Amino acid sequence: MFQNPNDQIFKNTVLDEVMFGPLQIGMSKKQAKEVALKALDMVGLKGAEKINPYELGYRDALLSPEEFVAYKKANA
């Protein structure tokens, strides 16, 4: 995890940004969208799918290690 999330953003919507990882590991677009929507809901960003990531507050742009571990365990 990097310190400044603004250095990592390269997609135009929050959903596309979150879908990037699942797509890179071979998920279909449909699967990646489902996983991304679930992840956004788990970290309190449900409804932010179409927002430009740069419009999120700094806290919303960070995924804490605890939230990541909880997401990872829920999908293990």
Q: For the segment 47-63, what is each residue's pLDDT rounded down to a tens digit?
A: 989 988 877 765 555 55
Indicate whether this model's pTM tops 0.95.
no
Residues 6+ apart with CB under 8 A from 62: 5
Q: For the segment 65-76, what is each residue's pLDDT rounded down to a tens digit?
A: 444 444 444 455
> Using CA atoms, how far apart are residues 19 and 27, in angstroms rounded to an integer?
9
Q: What is the DSSP string of 11-58?
A: SSSHHHHHHHHHHHTT--HHHHHHHHHHHHHHTT-TT-TTS-GGGS-H
